[in-house]
Amino acid sequence: MKLLQNILYKVRLQEVYGNTDMAISGLHIDSRKVTSNTVFIAIKGEQVDGHLFIDAAIANGATVIVAEILPLQFEKNVTYIKVNSSHEAIAYMAHNFYDCPSEKITLVGVTGTNGKTTVATLLFKLFSGLGYTCGLISTVQNQINQTIIPATHTTPDAISLNALLHQMVTENCSHVFMECSSHAIQQHRITGLQFTGAIFTNITLDHLDYHKTFEEYTRVKKSFFDNLPETAFTLSNKDDKRGEVMLQNTKAARYYYSLKASSDFKGKILDNALTGLQMLINKKEVHFRLIGEFNAYNLLAVYGTAICLKEDAEKILTALSGVTGAEGRFDYIISKKEVIGIVDYAHTPDALENVLTTLKKLKKDYQQIITVVGCGGDRDKTKRPIMAQAACDLSSKAIFTSDNPRTENPLDILADMEKGLSASAKKKYVTIANRKQAIEQAVKMANPGDIILVAGKGHEKYQEINGIKYPFDDKQVLQEVFSKFEK
């Protein structure tokens, strides 16, 4: 239990009606979860406006209502608080309610279009290997030391996030590494958290269905760094066009990593093969188990972060050399007939192009690249034809299929992918809406040594169709199909 007046510390209050000297047992944004002596915060969501459920929350026992628009009539013994932003208010209230957990740990946030999950996961594995008790908050999973907690969002809502950080503090985590999505930044889910460090990986076309313009998407990412304190450090990819722009207004210490430009943490690829990367990092040679130029950048980000956290360079590189990546990120299996199957989360044009460019560099002349790819429904439509063109340009053959259609007709999504394809691209693809059948077709088309890339869903264990999540695991399906056709 916490006093309401203490929970409201740093919240920008516009109007307060009622008593703030009362004990509070919990915070909720879902009226159905409200119990007695709790606070209900009404938020305007993308699909539902929480202000419509204030009466339901009070009926369920809420004694405090926080909202941007207060009801015309007040109930007795209920405190009403008007705020400019419910999202921002939740963040500060959750931070206070859970005893400011981020101030008791070393918290590092990772943002960017691609690479967030891999960087956060590698940091978690590295620091765990160095002997620390660590926490991970990522798209794939949340983890407290060895205990795995399924993830539903890249970054949880502010209440769930602070509750999770509090649990990590309780279980003696010293370091926590978390992905910070643009949605989370925009919606104040990470507002109020005390970050020790922040990493920028890269920025490319994504989430325009939400942010509307690339400029706005960039501004939101940049605001994460703008709001850091002087005590924090920032680490940015200097080879990205906006790598320096991201840090230009931050008060935090600035560091950069790169493969091309001069930087604090400079890398060079000596060998890039399916067996891993041989690199120079600040003139020290090391072999890593990860593959591809994009992972060279991820490794540099991890190395630079560890140095900023005062770890020993030799110990960092020794530990990193044996670390594997995140599930569903360039995750590969080899069939009995030596067909190479790769599952990757690449769901943006840039990510898909990076993976396919890497495969083209690694493959031998006789090897085909067969790409199975789709685009998510109810998401940015502008990237559909771009991804389709990239799949055709960089593959020997492409199969367009369903990703997570959500509420859209899969055939409409596929039609969007086909719009504007070049004449040469039109000769290299087929369309199979059923994802399992598309994977089966790819295996039938493959010869020994060929590479099948199944892109878009990566670690996900479901396919969302009309609001229902049906079990579907790309890697498992690929393994089953290999077994079926290679008996």
> Mean pLDDT across the chain, nearest whole number?
94
Cα 153 to its chain centre, rounded Å, is 8
- The stretch 346-359 carries a mean pLDDT of 92
pLDDT classification of 169: cutoffs 50, 70, 90: very high
Looking at residue 332, what is its pLDDT?
Answer: 85
For residue 222, the one-letter residue type is K
Please tell me whether residue 76 adopts helix, strand or coil conformation.
Answer: coil
Question: What mean pLDDT do residues 253-259 have?
Answer: 98
Instruction: Give the pLDDT score at 237.
Output: 98
Q: What is the mean pLDDT of residues 273-280?
A: 91
Q: What is the pLDDT of residues 131-143, one digit of tens each?
A: 999 999 998 889 9
* Average pLDDT of span 247-273: 97
Which ranges in 341-434 belong to alpha helices (H)?
Answer: 349-362, 383-394, 410-418, 423-426
pLDDT over 60 (residue 471):
yes
Confidence of residue 153 (pLDDT cuts 50, 70, 90): low
Give which of 379, 377, 374 is closest to 418, Cα–Cα. 374
Q: How far apart, in whole angstroms, are the C-alpha atoms of residue 484 and residue 478? A: 10
Average pLDDT over residues 117-125: 96
Per residue in 25-75, pLDDT tens?
999 999 999 999 999 999 998 788 999 999 999 999 999 999 999 999 999
pLDDT at position 207, please?
45
What phi and psi values does residue 30 have, to the nearest 5 degrees? -115, 115
Q: What is the pLDDT of residue 154?
A: 59
For 200-235, how does the pLDDT look when each residue is reduced to its tens digit (9 = 90+)?
999 885 544 444 577 888 898 999 999 999 999 999
pLDDT for 208 equals 46
Q: What is the mean pLDDT of residues 328-337?
A: 90
Can you tell me which residue has the tokens 């239990």?
A: 1
Residues 6+ apart with CB under 8 A from 267: 257, 258, 259, 279, 280, 281, 296, 297, 299, 300
Task: Using the predicted structure, report yes or no on whether residue 199 has a pLDDT greater than 50.
Answer: yes
- The angle formed by the CA atoms of residues 127, 130 and 136, to the nearest 5 degrees, is 20
Phi, psi (rounded to 5 degrees) for 465 = -135, 120
**Burial class (CB within 10 angstroms; exposed 0-12, middle 13-18, buried 19+) of 21:** exposed
pLDDT digits (tens, 9 = 90+) for 353-401: 999 999 998 899 999 999 999 999 999 899 999 999 999 999 999 999 9
Token duo for residue 233: 């450090």
Cβ neighbours of residue 415 closer than 8 Å, sequence gap 6 or more? none
